[in-house]
């Protein structure tokens, strides 16, 4: 099989560079990694094939991420709700998690990942799921009293309009005060 660039047309490569925060080398590496998730007979058509979420989740960069299933869900454009990804979905995901993505883009997608019920707000249930993902199950899991107190504290700090939820603007305001957020919100291939 030839090099990855021979399977990725030059015009597509240029378009991907314009539409993402990735450079040519990063796009070619992404294409190679995406293709490797496919059976050998489908690799030449990697731009037109969807990879099941179960395959995407085998990537070491995602395997250890506590939000891996949400990440696949948010970046998948699958109409079947199976969270499979096209190459362009995969590229979008890598672009958002790249070092060069803006903090606005990163915070927008972080909000979507944390919005477990996809209703456009972070409520107590979403926040509980976020905390559980971050603390894991078992000994580190918070008691119900500790969880309630933590969620109350988060809402007191973040819920500017006091409606009991955090909207995207409130979330971005909080994130703007966390300079480490942008540097920690990444996946490097």
Q: Is the domain of 52 the same as that of 110? A: no
Q: Is the domain of 19 the same as that of 92? A: yes
Q: Which residues of the chain have pLDDT under 50?
A: 1-5
- On whether residue 189 sits in a domain, the answer given is no
Q: Is the domain of 133 the same as that of 91? A: no
- On whether residue 1 sits in a domain, the answer given is no
- Which domain range does residue 172 map to? 103-184
The CATH number of residue 78's host domain is 1.10.238.10
| Model pLDDT for residues 57-107, shown as the tens digit of each residue | 999 999 989 999 999 999 999 998 899 999 999 999 999 999 999 999 999
Chain-centre distance for alpha carbon 135: 19
Q: What is the pLDDT of residue 184?
A: 78
* Dihedral sign of CA atoms 51, 52, 57, 60 in order: negative
Nearest to 85 by CA among 98, 97, 96, 71: 71
Q: Is the domain of 161 the same as that of 138? A: yes
Q: Is the domain of 109 the same as that of 147? A: yes
Q: Are 52 and 78 in contact (CB under 8 A)?
A: no
- On whether residue 3 sits in a domain, the answer given is no
Chain-centre distance for alpha carbon 181: 14
pTM of the model: 0.90
Q: Is the domain of 90 the same as that of 119? A: no
- On whether residue 91 sits in a domain, the answer given is yes
Total domains in the chain come to 2
Helix H segments across 20-123?
24-36, 53-56, 60-63, 68-75, 87-96, 103-114
Q: Is the domain of 60 the same as that of 132? A: no
């Amino acid at each position: 099989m030839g090099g990855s660039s021979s399977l990725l047309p030059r015009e597509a490569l240029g378009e991907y560079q314009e539409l993402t925060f990735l450079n040519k080398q990063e796009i070619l590496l992404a294409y190679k990694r995406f293709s490797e998730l496919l059976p050998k007979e489908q690799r030449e058509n990697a731009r037109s094939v969807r990879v099941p979420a179960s395959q995407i989740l085998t990537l070491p960069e995602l395997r250890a991420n506590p939000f891996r299933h949400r990440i696949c869900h948010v970046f998948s454009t699958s109409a079947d709700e199976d969270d499979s990804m096209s190459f362009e979905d995969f590229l979008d995901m890598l672009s958002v998690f790249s070092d060069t993505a803006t903090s606005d883009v990163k915070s927008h997608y972080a909000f979507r990942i944390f919005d477990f019920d996809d209703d456009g707000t972070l409520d107590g249930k979403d926040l509980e799921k976020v905390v559980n993902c971050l603390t894991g199950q078992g000994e580190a899991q918070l008691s119900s009293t500790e969880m309630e107190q933590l969620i109350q504290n988060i809402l007191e700090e973040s819920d500017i309009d006091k409606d009991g939820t955090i909207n995207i603007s409130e979330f971005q305001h909080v994130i703007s005060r966390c300079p480490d957020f942008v540097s920690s919100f990444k996946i490097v291939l």
